Amino acid sequence: MSSFDNNDDCIFSCNIDDLPSNYTKLAIQSYEKYGVFFLRGVFSKSEIKSLREDADQLFIEEVGERNRTVSQIQSETLKHSFSEAFMNTRLLTALNDIFSDPDVSLLPPFNLTKNHMPHSVDTKAMGWHRDCGGELPIKQCREILENPKYMFGKVGVFLQDNAEYGGAIDIVPGSNKDFSRFPRGCSNAVFWLKVLIFVQRYFPFIYKNNAVRKVFCVLIGMITTNVRAGDAVIFDSRNLHKGTPVRCDIEQSMIYNCETLQAELPDNQTKYVLYSQFGNSLGIQSFFYDRLNRKGGESEMDEWIKDAKAVKNSLTEERYFFRKVGSLLNNSFKY
């Protein structure tokens, strides 16, 4: 397992306050080739401290699931705090410049997650997945996912370092391009992931060996993102990725809920992530082909509209890159 940082012909990574003049070109090249790039230092240390305190308060006062969208927050003060965080001016200005096509927009839901991570032994496939996974069985979606103009992904802003208690994500760079390979979907990562799943299912006594799991991660082509508190990771929904698990020796004594994929971590190690989505019309079309075919999926658009409205009403001014907010609120949004 290795960590990537920025160098020639590699994943683009730069502090948001020190972006080079050609950063838009470098970020797009990284996104197209590897399906990911990093923007460092989106939040300052004082901002991170304040946001973590607000998150602690939110999950104490408003008991519930591991996730909280902005529209679900009852406290107007906390709603405003997290709306400002999701609409961070420096981050959205950079994304607005990088994804300059007016059809590409930041998208709901605006979701705060707590202690969401896989268990390296007990979680199926170690937690490896693609966010577009539900779209893969649908013919119309597969055709869109193969389209070079497709764009849909996530923006994850992490409020802690990726360290011994996890804190960010592991990713397979370039797995976004699996859909343009022949035969379709075949790659080194996919092959070894299938072997991993086979061993986990039929030879669990072998799979439980930490050294074996590490070898699989190397064969799959995994990198652990070298994320610090306040950094943003922008990645393609087609990329294979998973949450970074707790270090093996700590994990053995950890209380873990396999159904919710949630760990009980020490209070000073709580993992918080701000997740939002972005995409163009093609990506949105594929997303809703899947969601509207799911039981209860017809409410997805209502949830998007509620979250967009909650964020907009909590702020005093429009923000860059949330280009489709108007269409979401005036019922002209197409999907």
In a domain, 8, yes or no: no
Q: What is the pLDDT of residue 89?
A: 96
Phi, psi of 281 (to 5 degrees): -60, -40
Output the six-digit token pair for 207: 């799979």
Res 184: pLDDT: 62
Task: State the pLDDT at residue 179.
Answer: 84
Tell me if 4 is assigned to some domain. Answer: no
Q: What is the pTM of this model?
A: 0.94
pLDDT tens for each residue of 18-39: 999 999 999 999 999 999 999 9
Q: How does pLDDT run across 258-315, given as a tens digit for each residue?
A: 888 899 999 899 999 999 999 999 999 999 999 998 888 889 999 999 999 999 999 9
Please check the confidence at residue 2 and state whether its pLDDT lies above 60: no
CATH number at residue 177: 2.60.120.620
Question: Residue 28 sits in which domain range?
Answer: 13-322
Compute how many other C-beta atoms are within 10 angstroms of the C-beta atom of residue 125: 15
Q: Which two tokens stand for residue 167?
A: 């804190």
Q: How confident is the model at residue 323 (pLDDT cuts 50, 70, 90)?
A: very high
Examine residue 331 and state whether it is found in any structural domain, yes or no. Answer: no
pLDDT for 33 equals 96
In a domain, 37, yes or no: yes
Residue 240, pLDDT > 60, answer yes
Domain assignment of residue 272, yes or no: yes
Specify the pairing of strand 232-236 against strand 36-40.
antiparallel
The Cα–Cα gap between 9 and 6 comes to 8
Overall domain count for the chain: 1
pLDDT at 6 over 50: no
Q: What is the pLDDT of residues 51-84, one digit of tens each?
A: 999 999 999 876 667 899 999 999 999 999 999 9
